[in-house]
Structure 1
């Protein structure tokens, strides 16, 4: 996820550094491959949680991201938090993205921040996230909105979600952090109300209007494609609002080349709009994760 604190450094992807311009923007005159990160909540899951950062480093990555590492636990123990941060540090990788607490995702939940009955639960988890950010330097945070609830008016859920997002945005603002809003694929995530770029941007604008300027749009190629958005159109229309990019092919959510997305074209568009953040791999492996990166050879500069 876009981490403004790292933009002046020289990024790495698997096995070769990526050249960048003086201000962290990739040169426009020549095609360059993205600065990769790997999502260790969907890749390397054949390993225990705390072994995944080191596995990512061994595969050649210098940056990782995670969903909330403790499903169903808004406030994990101090020992668990310390162990997670230590695993990042010992692997010598940057944590560049972390999800806010999103309930029990393995059980099907996709966020709690729009649930009036769980506002305290969510806000207590934010303090944990801030502690992780202070220690690891992560500055981008994905906030899953939550599914629609029976018996609670949609307008009330939206009101609560906005209030919780503003609370979260203010909490990370002191760290120069960004809250990311993401649409999710229809039919795979329950009654999740944000399906398109327009849906996500409506929330971003609502949060900004409520006094939190550090809200941005998470551009996920898989979710957007499944729900019918045109990737190039979305990227160009919302260039200034994109805070992070994640990729998986569609259909199937496998590695690039297993579906129908033209990633070479997508990367050219991202170059054209001046996107200079990480591109995170968030796809399901088809076998051992370490064998899932051969497609990246063609992206070498």
Structure 2
């Protein structure tokens, strides 16, 4: 399916019962909507109407965008939610969390709850060697997928070889790497993470072995502390890296399905 927005179109899949509560999933940098291939069917089977979207420049979405900022992605996300019927629970991964948070801060009526997988607290400036490494791995699809494999330090899904090859092939299409390079540059420059403006219940999911973080538990705690205006909870997924929804899908599914009803109740409770 395609949603036409100013500047191009956003590709997405939709599964689950038409009358189910809406969940919209936003992937991270250098990825596409297939990252939710194990989680989306489980949520749909539990009764949710699940949309997985390719953010601008990735997957089957169009290329040639003037910007790939997380604020722009947040605008696309809100457009999709409004097209499908708001409000929605939004599940974000990695830099997709920044877009999810921005959308929730911008239009709180459209987002009833957030699930942030592998999110960052922000505020840490990358070291010089990290800047050089980031520049290197975004030069070619082959180098990026080589780096991508390191984000699964404990386990990989059974279909990982095929999925990694498909990701590499997609990124090799004209214009795809532009999105990756733009998002890498934004991360190195420092993202404006609007945690303090979020008002909806939020679940933070972090892998205990996430190689993108020096201390995954501390990173999740710092992010939760910034969500002081909302009800924020943390679920640490044991033996998981940067992709809990892929390397520990059952544990991740359980954490989300356990939290969603409680978050829905919290969202519906009037503020005192």
Shorter-chain TM-score range:
0.3 to 0.5
Q: If the length of structure 1 is used for normalisation, what is the TM-score? A: 0.33
Q: If the length of structure 2 is used for normalisation, what is the TM-score? A: 0.36
Larger radius of gyration: 1
